[in-house]
A and B are shown apart, each in its own frame.
Chain A
């Protein structure tokens, strides 16, 4: 597969963690990033505007068949799963997974299959279990996985679940994750 791809999943505490992460990425960062953050299907939540304040990189909410572009951050809309096909984002209204739509697992699994060794999965603060299976899939397809340290995550449940499941032996602070992303990409 051509080029790298970063998929980020998070829930509780995610807006703050994402803002910190995006603020640390350089303006010429040239890898596409897709984000699933668990959010309520209310009519308007200002999530994109709020995240955009942290970075000069372009952030937008995914629409179906949006082209995958280097250096653009795309966020899953409320109440839709986000997936990737060749060169395009895709949405789906399939049933929630682990009670979540958008589901982190759904994004991660499709990124694992589309990008293989070029996939980077990043699991940040959050509750529940959604994202663990997806991280395992990325790993099985020989992609890279990074987990936020349960010690520094606002809600350690999800990162801890991933570590317990053997996705990775250790987690990282956000600044270390930024370092690794910049170095890898």
Chain B
């Protein structure tokens, strides 16, 4: 047996030498596995079934931001420093969102879905993965203009508490409002968009009346279950960050939360194609990914 002399570095060969070229990548894969497992066990957030390619990119971006040399180093910081964990969550939950993103979808909702919703005495809408709330506020505007506001409740949920608070505040940088105005008009908006906010310094404050029908709360699609039955569920560009197993589970969760003939809206480049849920839906508007549950 070798005697370890202080200051001398002992090289430990890996038990079975993998091809050198693959080693760096697979080591990082192991570190990512361990990081996700550690976060799940310590904080309860479950990223174990997130799509690896995107997760890897986001973690690498964070390593650069925090000036850390490896995923293991990040894991050490995350487990011992709550603030780093919060930055990690923010990094994983900030999704690009804008008011009336994909205006054609909102126009189609007005034409193809609203007439059906108008026949219901009460309408429940769920925005799953609402991020900073822009799309939930868009829905609130649309429902008001279509005379549905009184009988409507919008549940807007996200897994990140900080993002939910931001959404609740209804504060949006004024600089992006011009783009949103264009979206609003192309989405079939019936008024002047500026009626819905007041400008204050560099921000737009969403009108309190638009916030009334919205209930913001925390819900984690990867862990939590169904909590109500809805007439309309909007879950756009959330499942693109999940792997296939998690996506199918979440689709099933949304399915279980949707009433018969209820409407499911996905992101413009998401689809029910090749999923077991496909047969339970018909396309109301294919390109805009508006589906109706048929059984």
Contact = CB atoms under 8 A, between A and B. Distances in A.
Interface of A: 43, 61-65, 67, 77, 80, 83-86, 88, 90-95, 106, 109-110, 113-114, 116-117, 141-142
B108 to A, nearest CB: 13
B267 to A, nearest CB: 7
Interface stretch (B52-60, B118-126, B135-143, B192-200): B52-60
A67 B271 CA distance: 12
B21 A64 contact: no
B57 A63 contact: no
B273 A63 contact: yes
A84 B22 CA distance: 17
Nearest to A90: B51
Interface string B48-73: 00011110111000000000000000
A88 B95 CA distance: 21
Nearest to B270: A64
Contacts of A116: 21-22, 25
Candidate in B22, B96, B269 with the most chain A CB atoms within 10 angstroms = B269
Contacts of B25: 113, 116, 141
Interface of B: 21-22, 25, 51-54, 56-58, 95-96, 104, 237, 239-241, 243-244, 247, 267-271, 273-274
Contacts of A77: 268-269
A88 B244 CA distance: 9
Given A64-B269, A64-B270, A110-B53, A93 B237 contact: yes
Contact of A63 (B53, B241, B270): B270
Contacts of B58: 94
A63 B56 contact: no
Given A64-B267, A64-B271, A92-B241, 10 more contacts: A63-B269, A65-B271, A77-B269, A85-B52, A85-B243, A90-B51, A92-B57, A94-B58, A95-B96, A113-B56
B251 to A, nearest CB: 11
A91 B269 contact: yes
Nearest to B52: A85
Contacts of A113: 25, 53, 56
A92 B240 contact: yes
Contacts of B53: 83-85, 90, 92, 110, 113-114
Contacts of B243: 85
Contacts of A67: 274
Given A90-B240, A92-B240, A93-B96, A62 B56 contact: no
A109 to B, nearest CB: 8
A63 to B, nearest CB: 5
A91 B53 CA distance: 10
Nearest to B29: A113
8 contacts: A63-B270, A65-B270, A67-B274, A84-B53, A93-B237, A94-B57, A113-B53, A142-B21
A95 B271 CA distance: 23
Contacts of B21: 116-117, 141-142
A93 to B, nearest CB: 4
Contacts of A85: 51-53, 243
A62 B243 CA distance: 16
A87 to B, nearest CB: 9
A61 B269 CA distance: 9
Contacts of B104: 43
A65 B57 contact: no
Given A64-B240, A116-B25, A141-B21, A94 B269 contact: no
Nearest to A97: B57
A92 B237 CA distance: 8
A113 B54 CA distance: 12
